[in-house]
Structure 1
Amino acid sequence: MKILVPVKRVIDYNVKPRVKADGTGVDLANVKMSMNPFDEIAVEEAIRLKEKGEATEIVAVSIGVAKAQETLRTALAMGADRAILVQTDDEVEPLGVAKLLAKIVAEEAPGLVILGKQAIDDDSNQTGQMLAALLGWAQGTFASKVEVDGDTVNVTREVDGGLETVKLKTPAIVTTDLRLNEPRYASLPNIMKAKSKPLATKAPADFGVDVAPRLTTLKVVEPPQRTAGIKIADVDELVAKLKVMGVAA
């Protein structure tokens, strides 16, 4: 079985984003970028399935600027076999990403698509579900455990009430949650090997997909600063202040 793993280049999770002075978006100048953490988990799960003999090939896919090749090389160093970059300088919305992935799926014919449940830059949590709808495939979202059994996949997913296990008939879509696994670090030899692994570059026009944005960002602002707390002498003073705030009855 072939596994397709979409990955996204985002601001590193250790970096605090800065809003542009004109409020048009997030400042990406001289900011460290890395693979979306949820997508790292997806790559790791695909590798583990291959190590178990459940998969024969792992194809990493990214949609974005030319520098997204670095993100794909990271996936290749972790253990993916080859990569595809759909290069565009435009910001592609989840629907556009899902449409492009649907075209790539039609060409590659994978048995499983594993991707992060959301990207930490926009937190949309839409691409996997949209892709499943476009393909008419079964989907298992927020996966905390994935088990392949022949032509079916058992996905344990996190829901409000606890855990739910769904049985999917392949081909299927799986979106990964944080507790699925712990991604491995790419070793130096594998990083060197990744440089020689195939990486194809294409454009949205090659797939006949219009990725023009449907949404317009009106303004981006910093979250409000937290105000300083105050010290109180005793419980009576605490209750009095809570009554003023309307918290205590």
Structure 2
Amino acid sequence: MRVEIWSDIACPWCYIGKARFEKGLAAFPHREQVEVVHRSFELDPTGPKGVTGSVTDMLAKKYGRTHEEARAMEQHVASNAHAEGLEFLAEGRDNGNTFDIHRLLHLAKARGRQNELLDLVYRANFAEERSVFDPEVLAGLAVEAGLDPGEARAVLADESAYTDDVRGDEREAAELGATGVPFFVLDRRYGISGGQPAEVFTRALEQAWQSRTVAPLATIGGAGAGAGVGCDADGVCGV
């Protein structure tokens, strides 16, 4: 059985949702027969490359909130992350264009190191004071994940490298009706929106396993951002 996960590194609920999904998968009896594939989704594809800013400033502007209210939003997300055993910096994080990160993740996928790089990028972005929007930091994370340093730097330098792969993932997300992330698709038959509790993922895996027949995509768990557990296509994250 294949599980495809559309996500963006800028989405805190994708970070949390990945941890919850992995807990749910660990409780699934047939977990060894599940292939997990991570796919690209940009929350803000129009954001200028090479320009970063404070997450708190971005939230205040996007939601029309004060900086104090924006910080409270981050604290709430941080509490959810901590409940899953994840480290999370509620202040001091950068925000920026994630396209190059997605391109590099496709290189990692081609080399069998996608999950390793994704974990490192999530941790650097949400738990450490390392800006993943800095090409040097990103190249260093690629090496930590086991990628060839020269190949990783070549991909980052060539703006056409893996561009079609990223755009292909995004088209598929639109065709499947994904309006936010994280978005999980089980065998192209069941869709789960948002960073749902681990037990929801376990039940969905069991349901998909027991009913392995061709059927239209069905959604489990409601809309991600609407349920307060995801980020929508406008970059608005539910809390």
Please, what TM-score do these two structures have when normalized by structure 2?
0.27
Task: Give the structure, 1 or 2, with the largest relative contact order (CA under 8 Å, sep 6 or more).
Answer: 2
Higher helix share: 2
Higher strand share: 1
Whose radius of gyration is greater, 1 or 2? 1
